[in-house]
Amino acid sequence: MSPLESSSVLEAAETSSLAAVTGIVLIGALTVRGIWNLFHHKGMLSGAKGKIL
């Protein structure tokens, strides 16, 4: 394997790991936001119920 080939393999590995990390962060942020919205809406619903009753 020539030095050029090994450096391009390293670059590809770096790029793919960066993409993986970015994906994980995005999914994590969306999940947290989804859970937060769920709890937020539940809180609003119970608050509205309390006002109606």
pLDDT in tens, 3-53: 778 888 889 889 999 999 999 999 999 999 999 888 887 776 677 666 765
Question: For 20, phi and psi rounded to 5 degrees?
Answer: -65, -45
pLDDT at residue 21, as a whole number: 95
The structure tokens listed for 29 are 């942020």
The overall pTM is greater than 0.85:
no
